[in-house]
Amino acid sequence: MDHLSAEARHSNMSRIKSVSKPEVLLRSRLFALGLRFRKNDRKLPGSPDIVFPKFRAVVFVNGCFWHGHRHCSKFRVPSTHAAFWRHKFARNRERDRENVSALMDLGWRVGVVWECSITGSSQKQKLENIAGEIALWLEEQLGVPYIEW
């Protein structure tokens, strides 16, 4: 049971930003490379964070905590309400798999950028590297249909 009232919980949750800083930084770098995209296209399964219609490709920028990035230092199951969190992370991962599968069935290529791959020490260099790899992946018209960074 939640120790906060419904109003207090609502107030706390309303302050959570829907766009993460790593996502904004990556989009900025991709734009600087001359790549044009749409953001959060709700017409597509899972509302991908970055959509490249020209290349029929999408990129999700996943937070390691919320998407349960296994074997990552940024992910751990909280010790309080552990059963709730395990269920939540399992459902998030399942929803991610469903969205990726639905997008691929529609003929889209899917890329996933994990938060840990573009944050931390030497963040600028990491962003540069990942953005470059995304650009190369996009240019491969019949390239890899699913990739993670």
Contact 60, 80 (CB under 8 A): no
Q: Which amino acid is at 116?
A: C
Helix (H, G, I), strand (E, B) or coil at 34: coil
Q: Which two three-digit tokens encode residue 11?
A: 């107030």
Q: Which two three-digit tokens encode residue 8?
A: 């207090």
The CATH number of 19-148 is 3.40.960.10
How does pLDDT run across 96-114, given as a tens digit for each residue?
999 999 999 999 999 999 9
H helical segments located in the chain: 6-14, 21-32, 82-105, 123-139
User: Cα(27)–Cα(31) distance, rounded to whole angstroms?
Assistant: 6
Query: Which residue would you say has higher pLDDT here, 110 or 75?
Result: 110
pTM comes to: 0.82
Q: Where are the domains of the chain?
A: 19-148
